[in-house]
Amino acid sequence: MEEWKQSVLIGAGLIILAIIFAVLRKEFGILIILVIILGVLDIIVGLYRKKN
């Protein structure tokens, strides 16, 4: 699998897991927000690698 595809999939997985964990705990803590931000950044980096 290409490197940019892995980056996008990992970013999406991080976001989905963080949202599931937040729903189960019924709160959005600072760590969950940081994981979501890292997932978004991972997707952005993956799309940037695809472009180049």
The residue segments making up the domain with residue 22 are 3-51
First to last CA, the chain: 17
**Tokens found for residue 11:** 């970013």
Contact 11, 46 (CB under 8 A): yes
The pLDDT confidence band at residue 45, using thresholds 50, 70 and 90, is very high
HSE of 48 in the Cβ direction (CA atoms, 13 Å)? Answer: 6
Question: pTM of the prediction?
Answer: 0.85
Average pLDDT over residues 9-23: 94
What's the gap between Cα 52 and its chain centre? 21
Total count of domains within the chain: 1
The pLDDT confidence band at residue 4, using thresholds 50, 70 and 90, is confident
* Rounded Cα gap, residues 44 and 27, in angstroms: 26
